């Protein structure tokens, strides 16, 4: 992040108005930095959290990823709207986010999914479990194993029996029989 972002974060709530202006600037790099600041100050002003939530509609995966990360620390004025936007990200994969971004082969979509999974884990006890179920079930079907495992943990922690059953089913389908490995490892 830019050094100015850290300075704004240090100002706390006093910087909320400036952060809103940066988000509304339309510049992706400024939006990434502003979303970072919003998450750091975890401002409870609904205007700021609503603007960060709108960043979920950005065509830039870096902006979306930072917005998701920030929302994990903020009070969401409308969790339903945030969940709808997140579900859209999981359901309607952007073609421009499908190429490998790092050596291990992860795409921008994989990274967005990881941030969504972490957000769901952070909010699993705060948000209504039935509201989280739709996106969680889709993520268990479509996301990589890392993101899916975190989502399954969020489902377990949510306290919902229905969510726990989905998570347990997910884990049961992926149970390994390590006795088949023998004494030597293949790697």
The CA dihedral of 180, 155, 41, 36, to the nearest 10 degrees, is: 50
- For residue 41 the two structure tokens come to 């100050």
Domain that holds residue 51: 1-77
Cα–Cα nearest to 143, from 87, 104, 79, 65: 87
Q: Which residues contact 17 (CB under 8 A, 6 or more apart)?
A: none
> Which phi and psi angles does 24 have, rounded to 5°?
-75, -5
Residue 96 lies in a domain: no
Among 56-60, 70-74, 77-81, 143-147, the minimum mean pLDDT is found in 77-81
| Domain boundary residue, one of 62, 77, 92 | 77
Residue 89 lies in a domain: no
Round the average pLDDT of the chain to a whole number and report it.
88
Residue 187 lies in a domain: no
pTM for the predicted model, two decimal places = 0.88
Cα distances (angstroms) measured from residue 5 to each of 39, 115, 154, 176, 177: 11, 21, 30, 45, 49
Report, as an integer, the average pLDDT of 81-88.
92
Q: Is the pLDDT of residue 129 over 80?
A: no
With tokens 């969680």, the residue in question is: 136
Total domains present in the chain:
2
pLDDT at 125: 87
Residue 125 lies in a domain: yes
Q: Same domain, yes or no, for 61 and 117?
A: no
Residue 61 lies in a domain: yes
- Give the residue, 124 or 105, on which the prediction is more confident: 124
């Amino acid at each position: 992040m830019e050094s100015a972002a850290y300075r704004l974060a240090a100002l706390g709530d006093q910087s909320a108005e400036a952060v809103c202006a940066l988000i509304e600037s339309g510049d992706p790099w400024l939006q990434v930095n502003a979303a970072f600041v919003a998450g750091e100050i975890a401002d409870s002003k609904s205007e700021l959290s609503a603007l960060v939530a709108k960043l979920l509609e950005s065509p830039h995966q870096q902006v979306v990823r930072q917005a998701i990360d920030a929302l994990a620390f903020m009070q969401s004025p409308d969790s339903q709207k945030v969940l709808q936007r997140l579900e859209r990200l999981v359901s309607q994969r952007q073609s421009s986010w499908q190429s490998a971004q790092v050596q291990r082969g992860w795409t921008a979509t994989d990274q967005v999914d990881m941030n969504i999974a972490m957000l769901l884990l952070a909010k699993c006890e705060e948000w209504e479990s039935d509201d989280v179920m739709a996106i969680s079930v889709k993520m268990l079907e479509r996301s990589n194993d890392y993101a899916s495992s975190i989502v399954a943990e969020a489902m377990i922690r949510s306290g919902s029996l229905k969510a726990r059953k989905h998570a347990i089913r997910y884990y049961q389908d992926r149970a390994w029989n390590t006795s088949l490995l023998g004494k030597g490892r293949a790697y």
